Amino acid sequence: MRRFAASTFLASFVVAVWAVLFPTPYALCMSLLAAFPVVAVSMVGFSGGQLKFVNQAGEISTYAFMVIVLTSVVLVYRSFDIHTLSWTGSALAAVVLDAVLIGAVAFIDRPNLHARLLVTLAAIGLLWGLGCANFANALLDIGPKQIFRPTIEPYSVSLGRNTGRTGGGGYSRHLIVGAWGPITGTQDAVVGEVLYQRAMTGQPVCVSLGRGFFGAPWYSFEACPPSP
């Protein structure tokens, strides 16, 4: 069972690197990140006492704990790919998910309840919950969207530096777009690689604004369809 736990941690590390460097296909990558903390808790729960969250020395450094920490941090980092206008609904959902995670750990660890573990996982679980909630708010939003067509401004930036149209190294791609909808000024927008490479100064880019599954408005940038 410990070998399986080590393999699970190795798999979570590979997925975390994949998510940071080249998260394609995106939905699959994010789904795996969100699932790993659940897998880690289940793994300990069904191990029959062979696996624990705290080792014999009282240290919170087991494979299950490291899986939760690693994937939760990367998931919440990637969740900022979702452009959100309000965090209220997602934050409330994150608190509920965090409570469920902590409740599951407390139930598994009830023979020798470890308060320090629960406090630590409460903080990490909130990151996991926020990442899950932010993605769910966008991916489960099937309602109608408002479409805006702001203009791409005369320059773009990559990794926060003005580097001209072709960009530089790194993985973050930005476009400067004009005002649209609730955004009253120019905006430094993070966009995907395909949209970045196709973007041309002075042309419009389409912004899709949704209400959000949890009532937290969000938006995404897409290439506008060709005019008829």
Give tens-digit pLDDT for 37-64: 999 999 988 888 788 877 666 667 788 8
CA angle (92 as vertex; 88, 94 as ends), nearest 5: 115
* pLDDT value for 73: 95
Lowest mean pLDDT among 4-18, 47-61, 184-198: 47-61
Taking the C-alpha atoms of residue 73 and residue 125, their distance in angstroms, rounded to an integer, is 10
Q: Which of the pair, 164 or 188, is modelled with greater confidence?
A: 188
Cβ 155 vs Cβ 162: under 8 Å? yes
Taking the C-alpha atoms of residue 207 and residue 181, their distance in angstroms, rounded to an integer, is 9
Give the pair of three-digit tokens for residue 112.
């020798």
Which band of pLDDT confidence, cut at 50, 70 and 90, is reported for residue 145? very high
**Which runs of consecutive H residues, i.e. helices, occur in the chain?**
2-21, 26-45, 63-79, 88-108, 115-139, 193-198
Average pLDDT over residues 100-108: 90
- Residue keyed to tokens 């959902």: 93
* pLDDT value for 166: 37
Cβ 183 vs Cβ 199: under 8 Å? no
Q: Which of the pair, 137 or 163, is modelled with greater confidence?
A: 137
Taking the C-alpha atoms of residue 60 and residue 161, their distance in angstroms, rounded to an integer, is 40
Q: Is the pLDDT of residue 212 over 80?
A: yes
